[in-house]
Amino acid sequence: MKEVLREKVEKAIEELYREKPEGFKIEKPKEEKFGDYSTNAAFLLAKPLRKSPSVIAEELSRFLAEDSMFEKISPERGFINFSLSKDFLIKELESLITEGEDYFREDLGKGRKVQVEFVSANPTGPLHLGHGRGAVVGDTISRLLEFYNYEVVREFYINDAGRQVYVLGVSIFYRYLQLFGKEREYPEIEKLFEEEGYKGEYVKELAVTLKEVLGEALLGQSLEEALEKLLSADFPFELNYLNRLEELDSVKLCSSFGLDAMLHEIKRDLEGIGIDFDVWFSERSLYERGLVEELIEKLKEKGYIYESEGAVWLKASELGDDKDRVVRKSDGSYTYFASDIAYHYEKFRREFDRVINVWGADHHGYIPRLKAVLKALEIPEEWLEVYLIQMVRLFKGGKEVKMSKRAGNFVTLSSLVEEIGQDAVRFVFLTKRSDTPLDVDVNRLKEKSSDNPVFYVQYAHARISGVFREYEKRYSESVENIPVDFLKHLWEEAEFKLVKKLLGMKDELVSATLKREPHAITYLLIETAGLFHNYYNHHRILGMDEEVMKSRLLLLKALRIFIKLGLKLIGVNAPDRM
C-alpha cells in the first residue's frame, strides 16, 4: 500500500517539479482526522524548490486529487494527508478474498538463498527455555522469509568437537561408576566431575541405561565387547557417533553414546514445538575435512595470523575487534573460535546470499570477532546478521521457578511444552522483542480467557469459523459461494476501519520480515483479533438482509484469512472450534 502511494507521489513530484526527492516518508498518522496515510514530502522539497512546505503540499494535493484511489487529499501545514476511497478499498478487499493469503505475499526474496542458524545448543543436555525462545524466533524468521520467496535453510550447528563433549563422557562414566560404588577408584574422573561435570538427572539416567545394557563391561578391560553390545542393543535412536568411534576408551565410549542420546532428545524436543532442521552441521566434520587448518593458513597468507606465547592468534584488533583472539591454544588444541571461522567460511562457500545467526545474548562478545574474520576474508559485513536472544524466566503464580545450572536442575523446554502446549509456548516466546529478557507466567497461559493472548487470537479464528458453520447450517449454502460482488454493500464506518486495518497488514508483515522482528506478528494478531471481537459484539451478521449479511460474511472471511496466515507464520494452529 505504502509502495503504491510512494510511486504516485514520486510521479506527481516529477511531473510538477522535475525533482526526485529521496527519503520522504509515507506513514500512517496516529489520528484519524489526518486521513489514512500521510507524507512529509513537501517538507523535503521546500529547500530545493525554495517554496514553503504548505504551498508545495497544496500543489501536490491538487495534482493527486484526480486519482480514484483517493476519497480526499488534504494538505495541512506541509503534510499531505490521504484518505482512501471506498471503491479502492473494496477492490483491494476483493483481491484479498480471491487471492487468499497470496494477497499478502510479495517477491521480496526472488529465490535468494538464506541460511538461518539457530539453537545450536551444546549436545550435552536437554534444551532449556532460552534455547526454546531462540528456536521459535529462528523458525519464525525462517517462515517469514519463506513466505516472501527466499530459499531458506534451517541449520543446527552441533558442537561435537570440543572439551564439553569430553566432559559429558566423564559425567556419564562417573555416574556409571557410582552405580557400582567404584567412583573412588578413578580419582581423575571424580575430580573432573566435581569441578566441571554435568550434574543433571539425565546423566544418571544415561548411566543407568548403560548399566542395564552392559552390566559391568565398562569397568573391566572388555571395552570391545561393551561397544559391540551397545551397537547391537535396541535404542530408539541411531548410534551415529558410537559407530564412528575411533579410539576405544571408556570415557569416549560414554561421550559418544551420550552425544547420540542427547541429540536424539534435542531433536525430539524441537519436534515438540514443530521445528525441523534441514541441516545438522557437525563441528567435528570441519576438523575431519581439514577446514580449520585450511582457514588458519588462509588467514596467515593474508597476514592476519601470528604466534605468541606458544599460541596462534588472529589480529582481530586490526579488523575492528577490541583485542586479538587465540585460535590455537598453546597445548595445540583449537579454540571454539577457530572452528567458527571455518564454519562461517563454509557457509560462504555454500553460496548463501545471506546468513542469519540467532544466538544467546551471552555470545554478544563474539560478534565483533566474527565480523573481523569476515573482513579479513573479504566477505561483506552485511552478509552476516546476528540476532541475540535474551534469557527467559519462568513464573508460577507470581513466583519465579529458579534454575541452577550448577546443581544441574533447569527448567526444560519439554516440561513447559508438556504443561501449556506447543501453541502457547510458541506464541509466548514471541510476545516480546527477543533482545530483552522475557518473563513467562505459566498460570496465565493455561487460562482460557482474554488474559491469555494465545486463546484470544485463536478464539477469534474459531469464532469466525463458528459463524460460517451456522450460516451453512441455516441457509444450506457455503460461504465459499458468496460472490465478492456483495462487498459493495459494506457501508458502516466500523467496517471500513476494519478493512483499512486489514489491508495495512500487508505493509506490516513486510516490515516485520525485513526488520527480522517476529514478535511483531503476535502484536498484529492480537490487534486484529481485538478489532474483530469488538465488531462481532456490535454487529449481527446472520439473519440480516441478504446484502448486509453476505457483505459481512465476506469481511469475516477476509479477517480469517489474515488471522490464519499470521498464526501460520508463527507456527501456531488456527482451530475452527474450541
Partner RNA sequence: GGGCCCGUAGCUCAGAUGGAUAGAGCAGGGGAUUUCUAAUCCCCAGGUCGGAGGUUCGAGUCCUCCCGGGCCCGCCA
Using CB under 7 A, which residues numbered 472 to 511 contact RNA? 507-508, 511
Among residues 98, 436, 443, 478, the one that binds RNA under rule CB under 7 A:
436
- CB environment 133-163: b (16+ within 10 A), e (fewer): bbbbbbbbbbbbbbbbebebbbbbbbbbbbe
Closest Cα to residue 379, out of 403, 344, 330?
344
Using CB under 7 A as the binding rule, the residues of this chain from 37 to 76 that contact RNA are 38, 40, 43, 76
Q: How far is the CB of 234 from RNA (least distance, A)?
A: 31
CB-count exposure of residue 18 (10 Å: 0-12, 13-18, 19+): exposed
Candidate segments 135-143, 259-267, 287-295, 461-469, binder of RNA by CB under 7 A: 461-469
Strands (E), 218-318: 279-282, 305-308, 311-314
| Minimum distance of RNA from residue 350's CB (angstroms) | 22
| 435 near RNA (CB under 7 A) | yes
CB of 569 to RNA, least distance (A): 16
Binds RNA (CB under 7 A): choice among 62, 163, 244, 402: 163
* CA distances from residue 289 to 10, 149, 292, 338 in whole angstroms, order as listed: 54, 33, 8, 14
Q: Which of 62, 182, 289, 540 binds RNA (CB under 7 A)?
A: 540
Verify binding: residue 29, RNA, rule CB under 7 A.
yes
Piece of 102-110, 230-238, 493-501, 514-522 that binds RNA (CB under 7 A): 514-522
Contact 552, 468 (CB under 8 A): no
Query: Judged by CB under 7 A, which of 68, 232, 481, 537 binds RNA?
Result: 537
CB atoms within 10 A of CB 400: 10
Cα–Cα distance for residue pair 562/464, rounded to 1 Å = 12
CA angle in degrees (0–180, nearest 5) for 86-90-95: 150
Which is closer to RNA, CB of 459 or CB of 486? 459
What number of other Cβ atoms are within 10 A of residue 305's Cβ? 20
Among residues 195 and 246, whose Cβ is nearest to RNA? 195
Distance in angstroms between the alpha carbons of the first and the last residue of the chain: 34
Q: Judged by CB under 7 A, how many residues of this single chain contact RNA?
A: 87
Measured from the CB atom, the residue of 75 and 138 that comes closer to RNA is 75
Instruction: Give the C-alpha separation, 441 to 554, whole Å.
Output: 37
- H/E element, 571: none
266 near RNA, judged by CB under 7 A? no
Q: How far apart are CA 135 and CA 117, in angstroms?
A: 10
Binding region for RNA (CB under 7 A) out of 97-105, 145-153, 489-497, 532-540: 532-540
Is residue 399 near RNA by the rule CB under 7 A? Answer: no
| Subset of 306-325 contacting RNA (CB under 7 A) | 308-311, 322
Indicate whether 437 belongs to the interface with RNA (CB under 7 A): yes
Minimum CB distance to RNA, residue 442 (Å): 14
Residue whose CB is less far from RNA, 195 or 351: 195
List of E strands, 404-497:
438-441
Q: Which is nearer to RNA, 149 or 335 (CB)?
A: 335
Least distance between RNA and beta carbon 253 (Å): 20
Asked whether position 385 contacts RNA by CB under 7 A, the answer is: no
Paired residues of 389 in beta bridges: 360
Binding mask 267-306 for RNA (x = CB under 7 A): ----------------------------------------
Buried/exposed 168-186: b ≥16 CB within 10 Å, e otherwise: bbbbbbbbbbeeeeebeeb
From the list 34, 257, 281, 343, which residue makes contact with RNA (rule: CB under 7 A)?
34
CA distances from 235 to 124, 154, 206, 230 (A): 18, 27, 12, 9
Among 103, 104, 343, 456, binds RNA (CB under 7 A): 456
Cell of 429: 516466546
Q: How far is the CB of 438 from RNA (least distance, A)?
A: 6
Considering only residues 7, 14, 25, 95, which one is a binding residue for RNA as defined by CB under 7 A?
Answer: 25
Residue 88 touching RNA (CB under 7 A): no
CB neighbour list of residue 393: distance below 8 Å, 6 or more residues apart: 400, 437, 438, 439, 440
Query: Which helix (DSSP H) or strand (DSSP E) does residue 316 occupy?
Result: none
Strand bridging mode 151-158 / 79-84: unpaired
Q: State which of residues 497, 536, 568, 573 lies at the interface with RNA (CB under 7 A).
A: 536
Shortest gap between Cβ of 43 and RNA (angstroms)? Answer: 4
Options 175-183, 285-293, 418-426, 512-520: segment touching RNA (CB under 7 A): 512-520
